A and B are shown apart, each in its own frame.
Chain A
Amino acid sequence: MTPRWLAVGATLPLLGFLLAFVVVPVSGIVASAFPAAGTLSGWATLFADPLNRDALGNSLVQGGLSAGASVLVGYPVGVFLGRYDWPGRRLLRSLLLLPFLLPSLLVVLGVADLLGPGGLLVGPFPGLGVFGHGLGGIVVVNVAFNAPMVALFTAVGAESASAPLEESLASLGASPGRVYREVWGPPSWWGALAGALLAFLFSALAFAAPLLLAGPAQYTLEDRIWSLDQILLNPHGAALLATLTLAFLAVPTAAYLAVLPRLAASGSRSAPRLGRRTASPIAVLLAGICAVFATAELLLVGAVLYRTVEPAGGRPWGAAWGLLLGPETTRALGLPISGAALNTLAFAAAAAAIALGLALGFVFARSLRPGRPGLLTALTLLPLLISPVMLAFALAEVWEPLLGGPREAWILIVVSQATLGLPFVVQSLSVPLEGLSAAPREAARTLGAGPWTAFTDVDLPRLGRGLTVAGLFAFAFGLGEFTATYFLVTPSFTTLTVAVYRLQGVRLPGVADAAAGLLLVVSAVAIVLSALGGTRVRF
């Protein structure tokens, strides 16, 4: 078999998966919306409802404000990370990945515990209460998630600047400001822009924060689609709004994909060349911003953990954990919390295995036919264009009847988690693969190794860390996924994230926090074990 056909064969599972679980269901939703969308009356009906109009406006406002605030916070952190050499730099860089790995509900709960009504910081600083609910709270949650991403993109951009050019200009007499404007500033701006576009996308389609910290008046398009389908039982309206959301997403997604190649050649420098300047006033200012930001992120998680043990409702320290394991919680959820934990682990593990398997086929194909990323690479990013609610809605509409109804909801939960994690897994593997020299692979081939043997013996060991990160991403993504899961779940398949949300509405003091604490512990243990296991993987 020629390398070309072998590559086609290796990517068929991925293509089939995307076709079956993304392209066909979403096309089905769009097609079902067209009879209404094709006429003015359909759109008129959609926009006659002020909540639908508000959802569009909310998405724009929340996305814009959150992206702007994320850049304000993330850009200086990224510059400090990418330009200066200081103890703990690598550690912070790793920690910035944590918000991606932590369940989104945990941060929402952290903001509520810290800044919401009765929040730990609101007592001593009442003015901070404005950031604990409503639009302020939503933006704080979005910034907590997205500022680290902006920081990482900024750092990558700043590091990609040409060190020889920068050093030459400095010695030729160019001031630091001029070197910033002409050498390393522009790539850092591209990095921040890429981060801001993603921050806009994620914030404009945020689901949990508006649901928990505000209400229908602050619902995004994502919340509104869910509300139309699940609460108001209006799947036709939901399909119409989902189609509008697809169009709404197209522009920032296209802009993000256009900006991304400008950062492609980055990451070659492991440490800033112009290091050792951490005593300058600017460096001290940047370090201060970094410290405040890191502290704020830790406080959010710390607040949730504190609430899990805090004495409340006349009960002693740690009583919430007892309640969580007790019959009241089981009655409220319809299954014991341990069952929810097992569901969570099983779904996340299955989703990670699927995503990793599909991604490995893709990178094997890339190793056979290296070169510029093409249509197939763009296709792997397709799930980024589809919001979790839209995906869940489409899967439920198209696949649920074929699978025999909600009894088989677990299949669609696993599929949705695998689909949403797929772009990150593929990127975690294909970006390092493109950075590898082809020489060892070619040497193995000339020594008699077949394509697959050369891939497993030569490329996979060199991708070791990428493989760990990819698996970790996929698994952690599944553990923390709430939006699509909540849309698809039935009581017997309740996961921990869904349990946290449901327990919010139950009169059991601290038990929702305890569930979130359990989710945090499960996530942390899983992440650490995966990381330890990943470092020992040998091929």
Chain B
Amino acid sequence: MSGSEPPPALDLRGLRVSYRNRPVLRGIDLTVGAGEFVVLMGPNGSGKSTLLRAVVGLEGTDAGAVRVFGQEVGRLPPHRRGVVLMGQEPGLFARRSVFANIAYAAGIRGAPEAEVRSQVGRLADRLGITHLLDRRPEEISGGERQRVALARALAARPRVLLLDEPFSALDVTIRADLMADFRSALASAGVAGLHVTHDRAEGLFLGDRVALLFDGRLESVGPPREVFDRPSSPRAARFLGYNVIRDGGRWRAVAPRNAGFAAGSPDGRRGQVVAAGSVGAVGRLVVQLESGERIEIETPRTAPLPAPGTWGSIRWSDAIDLPDPSAEGSP
């Protein structure tokens, strides 16, 4: 980094965390630029939440540096880091009104009352919760509580905002709305964000950049399109929704829409349909190959789907070559 370049909002270098001598994070290097929104994705148990808790200071670290706009904060207590964590549970005061909950964060900064009122009003308006300000958290819905939690987090004027699966407990019908509102609220506040999720669609939709975390190690940091189009390993490909096929000693990733099934055909890899169904205009098949692998196939519903138990062969196109997992030490 040159001297004139502004430091990133969040800069993690060689971050290591372990529980009872079991490594959970194995040397994380990651940056989040000013105003940037990075999404960290990975399966359950990969260390995503631990990473956020370590950044905010709720978990101790074994090694590594946590810098916020160039300032090392790794030895500071959570309340002095300027990094706000918003979790799956909103963590609101149950007996205080929505207004008081949002005002609490501004109050901690020591803002004058008039400024607190105006800031709460602005944030409530931006997040569509003005009509809830007099209610208590127990009187509003889960999605509304998350909006309140975000308003409270933004009222603290964080330097970096960390979001730990804030939508995972919510009804799928309100998630899209909430994601869009969250993203625009963060963008207009100009706050850098690091968001973790195990939902690949959510991550690919929200992130300026995405990073994949497996078993405490980062893989494939980059723009969503780039990470999705070029999976870096079989496990990354599986997480991103590809079929992973062993083809003549090579590992290949095949998107479900690029695979097909021909009932009764003896050509290609033989397999048996184990499940078939449709989601709207798309038909879905799950086929078990003779080698034991299971392949998911998406097909336009222009013809009847084969019944479970039907034998046939699968074909594919546009397969992506993957590195051999035995070379990287994990499948």
Asked if A165 and B60 make an inter-chain contact with CB atoms under 8 angstroms apart, the answer reads no
Write the nearest CB–CB distance from A61 to chain B, whole angstroms. 38
Asked if A170 and B93 make an inter-chain contact with CB atoms under 8 angstroms apart, the answer reads no
Near A by CB (< 8 A), chain B positions 76-108 give 77-87, 89-94, 104-105, 108
**Which listed residue (B57, B108, B149) contacts A174, Cβ 8 A?**
B108
Asked if B152 and A164 make an inter-chain contact with CB atoms under 8 angstroms apart, the answer reads no
Q: Is A258 an interface residue (CB 8 A)?
A: no
Minimum-distance CB pairs A-B, first 6: A164-B91, A168-B91, A164-B89, A170-B78, A165-B91, A171-B85
Q: Is A167 an interface residue (CB 8 A)?
A: yes
**Which listed residue (B57, B59, B87, B153) contacts A172, Cβ 8 A?**
B153
For the complex, give the distance between the alpha carbons of A532 and B274 in Å: 50
Asked if A168 and B79 make an inter-chain contact with CB atoms under 8 angstroms apart, the answer reads no
Q: Do A176 and B87 contact each other (CB < 8 Å), given the known contacts A165-B93, A167-B58?
A: no
**Which listed residue (B56, B58, B82, B162) contacts A273, Cβ 8 A?**
B58
| Chain B residues with CB below 8 A from A168, complex form | 85-87, 90-92, 149, 152
Asked if A173 and B105 make an inter-chain contact with CB atoms under 8 angstroms apart, the answer reads yes
For the complex, give the distance between the alpha carbons of A164 and B152 in Å: 14
Asked if B105 and A172 make an inter-chain contact with CB atoms under 8 angstroms apart, the answer reads yes
Count of CB-CB pairs between chains A and B under 8 Å: 69
Write the nearest CB–CB distance from A89 to chain B, whole angstroms. 14
Q: Is B38 an interface residue (CB 8 A)?
A: no
Write the nearest CB–CB distance from A460 to chain B, whole angstroms. 33
For the complex, give the distance between the alpha carbons of A178 and B80 in Å: 13
Write the nearest CB–CB distance from B118 to chain A, whole angstroms. 19
**Which listed residue (B58, B82, B83, B149) contacts A274, Cβ 8 A?**
B58
For the complex, give the distance between the alpha carbons of A162 and B152 in Å: 17
**Which listed residue (A165, A171, A176) contacts B84, Cβ 8 A?**
A171
Q: Do A172 and B156 contact each other (CB < 8 Å), given the known contacts A164-B87, A164-B91?
A: yes
Asked if A167 and B104 make an inter-chain contact with CB atoms under 8 angstroms apart, the answer reads no
**Which listed residue (A167, A169, A182, A274) contacts B87, Cβ 8 A?**
A167
| Chain A residues with CB below 8 A from B93, complex form | 165, 182
Asked if B90 and A164 make an inter-chain contact with CB atoms under 8 angstroms apart, the answer reads yes
Q: Is B109 an interface residue (CB 8 A)?
A: yes
Interface string of A138-166 (1 = CB under 8 A from B): 00000000000000000000000010111
| Chain B residues with CB below 8 A from A176, complex form | 77, 79
| Chain A residues with CB below 8 A from B156, complex form | 172-173
A-B contacts, 23 of them at CB < 8 A, read A162-B91, A164-B89, A164-B91, A166-B91, A167-B87, A167-B91, A168-B149, A169-B104, A170-B56, A170-B57, A170-B58, A170-B79, A171-B83, A172-B84, A172-B153, A173-B79, A173-B105, A174-B108, A175-B79, A176-B79, A178-B108, A182-B93, A276-B60
For the complex, give the distance between the alpha carbons of A159 and B134 in Å: 30
Nearest CB to that of A167 among chain B residues?
B58
**Which listed residue (A162, A164, A165, A174) contacts B79, Cβ 8 A?**
A174
Nearest CB to that of B109 among chain A residues?
A173
Interface string of B107-138 (1 = CB under 8 A from A): 01100000000000000000000000000000
| Chain A residues with CB below 8 A from B80, complex form | 173
How many chain A residues have a CB neighbour from B under 8 Å? 19
| Chain A residues with CB below 8 A from B59, complex form | 276
| Chain B residues with CB below 8 A from A171, complex form | 56-58, 78-79, 81, 83-85, 162
Asked if A165 and B108 make an inter-chain contact with CB atoms under 8 angstroms apart, the answer reads no
For the complex, give the distance between the alpha carbons of A176 and B58 in Å: 12
Write the nearest CB–CB distance from A279 to chain B, whole angstroms. 10
Q: Do A165 and B92 contact each other (CB < 8 Å), given the known contacts A171-B83, A174-B79, A176-B77?
A: yes
Nearest CB to that of A274 among chain B residues?
B58
Which residues on A are within 8 Å of B, measured CB to CB?
Answer: 162, 164-176, 178, 182, 273-274, 276
For the complex, give the distance between the alpha carbons of A503 and B20 in Å: 52
Write the nearest CB–CB distance from B296 to chain A, whole angstroms. 32
Near A by CB (< 8 A), chain B positions 246-277 give none
Interface string of B156-179 (1 = CB under 8 A from A): 100000100000000000000000
Nearest CB to that of B162 among chain A residues?
A171
Residue with the greatest number of chain B CB neighbours at <10 A, chosen from A162, A171, A176: A171
Known: A167-B56, A167-B58, A276-B59. 17 other contacts (CB 8 A): A164-B90, A165-B93, A167-B53, A167-B85, A167-B87, A168-B90, A168-B91, A169-B91, A170-B56, A170-B58, A170-B78, A170-B79, A171-B78, A172-B79, A172-B156, A173-B108, A182-B93
| Chain A residues with CB below 8 A from B85, complex form | 167-168, 171
Asked if B152 and A172 make an inter-chain contact with CB atoms under 8 angstroms apart, the answer reads yes
Write the nearest CB–CB distance from A84 to chain B, whole angstroms. 13
Write the nearest CB–CB distance from B193 to chain A, whole angstroms. 14
Nearest CB to that of B96 among chain A residues?
A182
| Chain B residues with CB below 8 A from A166, complex form | 91
Nearest CB to that of B77 among chain A residues?
A176
Nearest CB to that of B85 among chain A residues?
A171
Write the nearest CB–CB distance from A163 to chain B, whole angstroms. 8
Nearest CB to that of A175 among chain B residues?
B79
| Chain A residues with CB below 8 A from B149, complex form | 168
Write the nearest CB–CB distance from A171 to chain B, whole angstroms. 4
Nearest CB to that of B157 among chain A residues?
A173
Nearest CB to that of A165 among chain B residues?
B91
For the complex, give the distance between the alpha carbons of A167 and B108 in Å: 15
Nearest CB to that of B149 among chain A residues?
A168
| Chain A residues with CB below 8 A from B90, complex form | 164, 168
| Chain A residues with CB below 8 A from B86, complex form | 168
| Chain B residues with CB below 8 A from A173, complex form | 79-80, 82, 105, 108-109, 156
Write the nearest CB–CB distance from A186 to chain B, whole angstroms. 11
For the complex, give the distance between the alpha carbons of A175 and B81 in Å: 11
Nearest CB to that of A279 among chain B residues?
B60
For the complex, give the distance between the alpha carbons of A164 and B56 in Å: 13
Interface string of B21-56 (1 = CB under 8 A from A): 000000000000000000000000000000001001
Asked if A172 and B56 make an inter-chain contact with CB atoms under 8 angstroms apart, the answer reads no
For the complex, give the distance between the alpha carbons of A168 and B78 in Å: 10
| Chain A residues with CB below 8 A from B56, complex form | 167, 170-171
Nearest CB to that of B81 among chain A residues?
A171
For the complex, give the distance between the alpha carbons of A8 and B241 in Å: 57
Interface string of B57-69 (1 = CB under 8 A from A): 1111000000000
| Chain A residues with CB below 8 A from B84, complex form | 171-172
| Chain B residues with CB below 8 A from A167, complex form | 53, 56, 58, 78, 85, 87, 91
| Chain A residues with CB below 8 A from B105, complex form | 172-173
For the complex, give the distance between the alpha carbons of A270 and B66 in Å: 29
| Chain B residues with CB below 8 A from A174, complex form | 79, 108
| Chain A residues with CB below 8 A from B53, complex form | 167
For the complex, give the distance between the alpha carbons of A164 and B85 in Å: 10
Write the nearest CB–CB distance from B235 to chain A, whole angstroms. 30
| Chain A residues with CB below 8 A from B77, complex form | 170, 176
For the complex, give the distance between the alpha carbons of A169 and B149 in Å: 11
For the complex, give the distance between the alpha carbons of A167 and B153 in Å: 12
Nearest CB to that of B86 among chain A residues?
A168
Write the nearest CB–CB distance from A419 to chain B, whole angstroms. 40
For the complex, give the distance between the alpha carbons of A167 and B90 in Å: 10
Nearest CB to that of A183 among chain B residues?
B93
| Chain B residues with CB below 8 A from A175, complex form | 79
Write the nearest CB–CB distance from B114 to chain A, whole angstroms. 20
Nearest CB to that of A182 among chain B residues?
B93
